[in-house]
């Protein structure tokens, strides 16, 4: 009689709650954080980007960048109720904040139930493109430009404050040194008749 448990197996087969085989995401050196080359920089070096292991879609963010936003919490795609609910909640939150699904045109009214109209007023919906239509790209550049304006204005303000602080500090040092010299001056003149003062016992 064998002491080996009948549940010991050589290989694991993922199964769902009903016992049917299901897919699983295999972790390997390459699959933990997959990347892909999307171009070359001015030096000829490859430009890499990380590829999310979960289902994702591109969104135009508030700063003008287009981000890959995961719409599932697991690497194995699922259409179960909790999985689709996560996607709905994530998209609703992003759209409410002002982010735009990059595959749609910014003049689209697909999410008018959230935005009250198109994402951006004053244009005709072109239907969008998977990689982003010309309208979404133009809006991306406009948002980036605005972020740069705000950044430059804040940087200038901080530089002015720093210059003002440096000036006040310098003036304070000069005044302090001047006061110290005046306290140790004899006869109202810095470095006056020090020897005479020492002889008279007036110098510390």
**Can you give 30-99 as a three-state secondary structure string?**
CCCCCEEEEEECCCCCEEEEECCCCCEEEEECCCCCEEEEECCCCCCCCCCHHHHHHHHHHHHHHHHHCC
- Provide the token pair at 111: 């999410």
Integer angstrom CA distances of residue 96 from 8, 85, 99, 140:
51, 16, 7, 18
- Within 8 A by CB and 6+ apart from 203, the residues are 186, 194, 197
Q: Which residues span the domain enclosing 168?
A: 156-199
Tell me: do 144 and 164 sit in the same domain: no
| Same domain membership, residue 75 and residue 138 | yes
In a domain, 91, yes or no: yes
- Say how many CA atoms lie within 13 Å of 96 toward its Cβ: 6
pTM over 0.75: no
Contact 62, 97 (CB under 8 A): yes
Are 57 and 134 within one domain?
A: yes
Evaluate whether residue 6 is within a structural domain: no
**Is the same domain home to 102 and 160?**
no
Q: So what's the pLDDT on residue 61?
A: 97
Residue 155 has pLDDT above 80, yes or no: yes
Q: Which residues contact 192 (CB under 8 A, 6 or more apart)?
A: 185, 186
Question: Are 111 and 181 in the same domain?
Answer: no
Say how far apart CA 77 and CA 127 lie, in whole Å: 26
Q: Predicted confidence band at 191 (pLDDT cuts at 50, 70, 90)?
A: low
DSSP 101: E
Please check whether residues 63 and 102 belong to one and the same domain: yes
Nearest to 35 by CA among 53, 58, 62: 53
126 pLDDT above the threshold of 80: yes
Q: Which of 113, 109, 147, 154 is nearest to 127 (CA)?
A: 109
* pLDDT, mean over the chain: 86
Average pLDDT over residues 16-26: 78
1 has a pLDDT exceeding 90: no
51 inside domain:
yes
Q: DSSP assignment, residue 111?
A: T
For the stretch 130-154, pLDDT in tens is: 999 999 999 999 999 999 999 999 8
Number of separate domains in the chain: 2
Based on the fold, state whether residues 61 and 140 are members of the same structural domain: yes
pLDDT bin (cut points 50, 70, 90) of residue 160 is confident
Q: Are residues 137 and 161 in the same domain?
A: no
Q: Which residues, at least 6 apart from 128, have a Cβ–Cβ distance to it below 8 Å?
A: 103, 104, 105, 108, 136
Same domain for 182 and 99 = no
Domain membership of residue 66 (yes or no) is yes
Check whether residue 138 and residue 180 sit in a common domain: no
Q: Among 10-14, 74-78, 124-128, 149-153, which is the least confidently predicted range? A: 10-14
Nearest alpha carbon to residue 24 among 87, 86, 89, 75 = 75
- The arithmetic mean of pLDDT across residues 112-128, rounded, is 95
> In degrees, to the nearest 5, what angle opens at C-alpha 43 toward C-alphas 42 and 45?
105
Q: Is residue 102 classed as helix, strand or coil in its secondary structure?
A: coil
């Amino acid at each position: 009689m064998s002491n080996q448990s009948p549940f010991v197996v050589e290989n694991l087969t993922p199964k769902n709650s009903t016992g049917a085989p299901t897919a699983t995401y295999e972790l390997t050196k390459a699959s933990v954080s997959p990347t892909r080359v999307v171009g070359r920089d001015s030096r000829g070096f490859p430009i890499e980007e990380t590829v999310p292991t979960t289902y994702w879609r591109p969104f135009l963010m508030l700063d003008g960048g287009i981000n890959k936003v995961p719409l599932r919490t697991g690497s194995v795609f699922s259409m179960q109720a909790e999985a689709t609910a996560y996607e709905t909640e994530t998209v609703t939150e992003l759209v409410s904040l002002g982010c735009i699904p990059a595959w749609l045109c910014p003049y689209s009214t697909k999410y008018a139930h959230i935005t009250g109209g198109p994402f951006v007023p004053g244009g005709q919906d072109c239907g969008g493109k998977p990689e982003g239509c010309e309208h979404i790209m133009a809006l991306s550049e406009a948002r980036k430009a605005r972020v740069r304006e705000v950044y430059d204005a804040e940087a200038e303000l901080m530089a002015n404050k720093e210059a003002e602080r440096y000036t006040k500090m310098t003036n304070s040092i000069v005044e302090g040194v001047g006061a110290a010299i005046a306290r140790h001056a004899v006869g109202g003149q810095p470095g006056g008749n020090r020897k005479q003062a020492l002889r008279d016992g007036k110098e510390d």
